[in-house]
Structure 1
């Protein structure tokens, strides 16, 4: 039994442990200042005839919290495993501080990975789990003790050092796994769905703690998640993957407010889409004739629209509802898009209420409104006639 545990420990360590120093010298300082910490150049990974990762191009800067977001099977975990060294690219390069690590063994690269199931050793205490990689690296006993104490303090586990994993809550086990991953101070920490096993409230609080740890250490984190809210909360930038390709890389705000494609607009958050044709351009406004919402005025996008067939996208929270519509005059009437309809569905979500408004065309317009009063006697009910309105600046034009 002891031999089996030792083999298990060795295997886990082989996959997650780091070499203290890279095998080759680092590039000179001027070169380091000019390059990102991590550069992924045309990386391809095939399984049979399927390209799980298809020509990924990505730069990630030192000290950045980066998220890989996408639906199941999009290739995000495969890309993460290539960064960790558990998969080898069929094409392309992975440069860490200018050095190609695509063929470097996992334990020889300054990268560590925190697994979804935490992979804690059940027979070891919190202290020994955190110290495991340090002992294998040959760190002096006094330094191990100091480093473990530092990690325990960092992840708020003081007083729990002697407990075994089965004596800890899910959130506490997650912190132990994080401390063990950070103990050897990797240049890059990879997190594979690290909060998936936690309940909603614990997941939200742990997200904040994870951000605090990353900022205090100034370390580069890459997290893989299918949870959009999680990615939006923790990440400085997000790379959205679809069918093996990076569809868009942007800040959470830009990704949400200025999606680069129709697929991104539909995948990230809720959205209303109206198919149409561009009719005219005047005073930085486009007029788009839609099948379901009539003529809509839309702010001209920064990038010129090259096609006449387009879609107009409006986020639900940008749509306002009222019984009579906004007060406008002949001068500023063009500054508001006004649609009439009937409330077909109401969803009370505590902080917000969502409405589905059936337009004359039969199309549904979704609206999300904040509940700013405790008992809103003016809330809209099923079957009620309402006016929905939004400004041209609230709209995004997407080419087909």
Structure 2
């Protein structure tokens, strides 16, 4: 090679960092009059992720979804998709599609034409549309129903048509606004599994909005819990259930027993909390350092064991330190488990969920029976109020 060559050096494209999320929401605000629906919310969502926005009605989750789709514009903040700010991009011009809660199918169009609608608007050639529609019909298992109108379909079939139409344009992100709310329990559970399998097969990013915690925990790899327009916690389902960051999240996600009290001692990784309703409770110190003295102790019902005389006090069971005596006041048999309510001597009620491990459970407890409810320090979550 000529050392004096004047040919310009070739520059290689810079690699895209692996830690850049597919979708980045930065300080987004959305108000309707004096009501702030979304309040300075920031969130990163990775490519290929199944993410759930979970929260009570009116918390802002659907408003956030509509901003991602382009149906609402943020008052402040940015929405970045693959590094590009799409906050001002029109809905049909962004690689995002939304499946609505009511499916929004055209009643006068067939299954085939409903699926093809967005492709025709995008100007796709007719032959390509036919191929894509055929792919989508097979993907959602609607073969043989292509000529039917929506009123000739069941609720589950209409949901599949809406899903196929949303996927037909191959968006980078699919937004699902409570898509299973209209389905009965068995069909909803079956459709959850189908959606999860579909998402894995396509490798696409799905964002689902729901107020159903069980649905969010079943389907999503991560969950963002919203309240009053803010993100309260973003975590995996297990982290959210076993390590909530606040008393509110512990109450919102799953059933929980809560005892309010004062932090009295901190020793060897254990906290002693004096409560009004359960006496002194010993709990393992959480990873998140407790700075306040007024705290709540949360114990999930499945962590509360019942026995007639309480746990043994020998060395093998020395860790079972928390014992509460009371009387069984309610029994709910739910098939796989039985939920007991025990009225403690203090007057408070604690719930225990115990697995039914035998066909006829000879160890079941009955109404008015006196029992000991016990749990270990590891079973307790200490939360600041």
Counterpart selection for 1:292 from 274, 277, 289: 277
Which residue is equivalent to 2:22?
Answer: 37
Q: Which residue of 2 aligns with 1:107?
A: 92
4+ residue runs over 6 A deviation: none
Equivalent pair of 1:342/1:385 in contact (CA under 8 Å): yes
Contact 1:32 1:97 survives alignment (8 Å): no
SS of equivalent to 2:192: helix
Is it true that 1:223 corresponds to 2:213 in the alignment? no
**Which residue is 2:52 aligned to?**
67
Give the structure 2 partner of residue 376 of structure 1.
Answer: 361
Retained in 2: the 8 A contact 1:32–1:98? no
Mapped to 1, the partners of 2:101 and 2:288 lie a distance apart of 40
Task: Give the equivalent residue in structure 1 for 2:145.
Answer: 160
SS of residue in 1 equivalent to 2:18 = helix
Determine the structure 2 residue equivalent to 1:190.
Answer: 175
**What are the residue-to-residue correspondences of 1:5-84 with 2, within 5 Å?**
30-31=15-16, 33-84=18-69
Residue 350 of structure 2 aligns to a residue whose secondary structure is strand
**Residue 170 (structure 1) aligns with:** 155
* 1:128-159 alpha-carbon deviations (Å, 9 max, x no partner): 11111112222222222221111111111112
Q: Which runs of 5 or more residues in structure 2 are unaligned?
A: 1-12
Name the SS for the 1:138 alignment partner: coil
Q: Which residue pairs with 1:133 in the alignment?
A: 118
| SS of the residue 1:190 aligns to | strand
Distance 2:57 2:376 in 1: 35
- Map of 1:6 onto structure 2: none
1:39-80 Cα shifts (integer Å, max 9, x gaps):
010000011111110011100000001111111111111111
What's the CA shift for 1:33? 3.2
Q: Are the equivalent residues in 2 in contact too, given 1:126–1:163 (CA < 8 A)?
A: yes
Further displaced range: 367-376 or 170-179? 367-376
Partners of 1:85 and 1:315 lie apart in 2 by 40
Give secondary structure in 2 for the equivalent of 1:89. coil
Normalized against structure 1, the TM-score is what? 0.91
> Residues 331 and 67 from structure 1, CA distance in 2 versus in 1: closer, same or farther, beyond 3 angstroms?
closer
Name the counterpart of 1:342.
Answer: 327
Aligned-residue offset at 1:335:
4.0
The aligned residue for residue 80 of structure 2 is 95
The whole-number CA distance in structure 2 between the counterparts of 1:284 and 1:34 is 35
Give the distance between the partners of 1:186 and 1:175, measured in 2 at CA.
17
Note the C-alpha offset of 1:307.
1.3
The answer to whether 1:247 aligns with 2:229 is no
Structure 1 residues 143 and 111: alpha-carbon distance in aligned structure 2, compared to 1, 3 A threshold: same
Query: Which one has a larger percent helix, Structure 1 or Structure 2?
Result: 1
How far apart in 1 are the matches of 2:265 and 2:318?
17
TM-score (norm 2): 0.94
Task: Give yes or no for contact 2:311–2:320 (8 Å, CA) kept in 1.
Answer: no
Matched residue SS, 1:216: helix
Aligned with 1:274 (options 247, 259, 263): 259
RMSD: 1.4
Structure 1 equivalent of residue 188 of structure 2: 203
Cα separation, 1, equivalents of 2:220 and 2:318: 40
Aligned equivalents of 2:158, 2:315: Cα separation in 1: 63
C-alpha contact (below 8 Å) 1:297/1:334 kept by paired residues: no
Aligned to 1:358: 343
Shift of residue 333, structure 1, vs aligned partner: 2.9
Deviation at 1:343, TM superposition (A): 0.5
State the distance in 1 between where 2:14 and 2:153 align: 44
* Equivalent residue number for residue 103 of structure 2: 118
SS at match of 1:287: strand
CA contact (8 A) 1:279 1:286 kept: yes
